[in-house]
Chain A
């Protein structure tokens, strides 16, 4: 018996009696002796709750989180404020503990949440149909490429180098299974090279995949890219940062056929990379081919409005080998956090937060680029993230900043070998002007110190 199981000696006696065996051991007799573990599981003994809590807290104390430093680290996940109502609502038993809603009559809460989420994503992306979540951003890009292949049967895709490196790599991994190849289109001063794209396009290309804003923070010309792609019958897949879609035009309104993305910025914590959610929206034509769960509206036997999982024939539990994806468990609770967050932000808030990031990002970029030894890596319009070039080893600069309590950003060298001195800096509504000024001070000092150190060793 543990704190979670409840078989008393009396229970055991009654239960074994009802079953008709003498011991629990007999219930495992179908496992041949040769396959039996002949020892205990080699793990330490169980600990009481207080001790487990202490251990988990000790492990937490050896992580430097956004609680402990002022962070400008982005590159796909961002330190946004998560309102208290999100925590309170998603830890309610009725949302936290049920399974996927296979019995709709007692799952109207969860199903309506999905319907509301789908509506919100549709609004943000400018596309009419959305699913109820995928795992996260990069695998959503992979799922979109799979849909493109199912849709037009073409097996070659073009992917901008501005798409998140994890998305590009996930795409390669998944494509090895479903049989597509992707060719990379390079960047020209921080933006997808339109000329190179036009040259690479042909009637063999099934999809063009871009990101908005791209990984280097720049605003892509989605309309031009979409027009070029459509001339050749290729689908346009755009991965978008949802929190910028209050100020940036919806890619769905600019010609994207599928808009996907990482949902972490919508009410979800950083959590060292997960769980968050991916979103997936598309034009009506692709509804019956879309992956993931979809909630649909209907009526009950008394004419009441209700919601059900619909178009389930796309899914694994019915269509099996012909399913449009294999997804079963996705990220329902994180999607709930997302729709609560979007309701909290509201119609004005999504614009305000976008404007705030836009202005502060501009201020940050101008301020930092004015420092000695710091330059803009590109000068394209940006919204919430931008790339710099440092005249000093980036890793050492970052260490100095960290020692001063500032995480200055992402060393681009980690993902773009052509930018060994690059630094990607992210802005959220949590980074005030004072924080940005502090970053400027600390970064300026760090770069200066490292340049001196380098000169000294030369």
Chain B
């Protein structure tokens, strides 16, 4: 993705991760932001957690690797993993090309939806980067 973009309909975590709440408010999709994929360089490997495992807000749940770096992926919210993006096994570069779409990482059934209060909006996240 050529230019920095931070969609307004997402919630952000300071460690450069985003969360998209499903219409069913108990489920959210996670991924990393444009800033994160840009810092990493071309992603070569994403090691997903197992479906059924739990994630805790502010703690790392997976790693994403580029040629020259490894990065912890931080969970913006807590819950149980109900789906992982297996397409990333063959096409990890989706994380670079479409970090908010095809580059999604996991879908989580939230254990405490009120944790969204601690996340920030696109505007706040964008200004924190400069």
Q: Is the CB of B45 within 8 A of A319?
A: no
Q: How far is the CB of A363 from chain B (nearest CB, A)?
A: 53
B86 CB within 8 Å of chain A? no
Residue ID in chain A nearest B65 by CB atoms: A313
Minimum CB–CB distance for A248 against chain B, Å: 36
- CA–CA, A322 to B71, complex, Å? 11
Residues of the A chain whose Cβ atoms lie less than 8 Å from the Cβ of B47: 288
Q: Which range contains the number of B residues in contact with the other chain? A: under 10
Assess whether B45 is in contact with A312, with CB atoms less than 8 Å apart.
no
Question: What is the chain B residue whose CB lies nearest that of A308?
Answer: B67
Report yes or no: B45 in contact with A288, Cβ–Cβ below 8 A: yes
A194 to B45, CA, bound (A): 41
A318–B69 CB distance below 8 A: yes
B51 at interface (Cβ–Cβ under 8 A)?
no
C-alpha spacing A312/B66, complex, angstroms: 9
Question: How far, in whole Å, are A285 and B4 apart by their CA atoms in the complex?
Answer: 36
- Chain A residues within 8 Å of B65, by CB: 313
A319 to B65, CA, bound (A): 10
What residue of chain B has the Cβ atom nearest to residue A288's Cβ?
Answer: B45
Nearest Cβ on chain B to A324's Cβ, whole angstroms: 11
**How far is the CB of A86 from the nearest CB of chain B, in Å?**
34
Residue ID in chain B nearest A317 by CB atoms = B68
Residues of chain B lying within 8 A (CB to CB) of residue A322: 70
Contacts of B66 in A (CB 8 A): 313
A318 touches B68 (CB 8 A): yes
Q: Please, which residue of chain B has its CB at the minimum distance from the CB of A310?
A: B67
Give chain A interface residues in 299-329, CB to chain B under 8 Å.
Answer: 312-313, 318-319, 322
A13 to B58, CA, bound (A): 60
A-binding residues in B (CB < 8 A): 45, 47, 65-70
CB-based closest 7 A-B pairs: A313-B65, A313-B70, A319-B70, A318-B68, A318-B69, A318-B70, A322-B70
Interface set of A (CB-CB < 8 Å, partner B) = 288, 312-313, 318-319, 322
